[in-house]
Amino acid sequence: MPESRTRRKTRPVSRRRNKARESRARETQASQQQSEEKKMSPEAYRRRRIVGWVLVALAVIIGAQHLGHHLGFYTLISEGWDDLVAGYPMALLLGVAGAIVLSK
């Protein structure tokens, strides 16, 4: 085949660099790398779930114990300390702490 037919008739059009698109791509790649570094291992995730559910279970147990104490089934510690230390406020705090640990 003659050389004139194999050559391109026109030169390919050079494209201008889209710097905004390249900048967005670099930002996306950087954020993907950061999120990959922040990822939690399955073992750490499992430990966090166990700690969260233990806190929630402890809150339920303390709340039930406090309810049983108010209903007069038993007395474990004195009235004043029971309400301040092992009462509904402690059950609430443990429940909220467990929910926070579970939500992360």
Residue 3, domain member (yes or no)? no
pLDDT recorded at residue 28: 93
Residue 94 burial class via C-beta count within 10 angstroms: exposed 0-12, middle 13-18, buried 19 and up: buried
Q: Which domain holds residue 96?
A: 40-103
16 occurs within a structural domain: no
Contact 69, 75 (CB under 8 A): yes
Determine the residue type at 62: I
Q: How many domains does the chain have?
A: 1
Higher per-residue pLDDT: 93 or 80: 93
Q: Is residue 20 part of a domain?
A: no
The answer to the question of residue 2 being in a domain is no
Task: Tell me which of 50 and 10 has the higher pLDDT.
Answer: 50
The number of beta carbons lying within 10 Å of the beta carbon of residue 57 is: 13
Does the residue 62 lie in any domain? yes
**49-72 average pLDDT score:** 87
Residue 78 has pLDDT above 80, yes or no: no
Percentage of the residues of the chain whose pLDDT score is greater than 90: 26
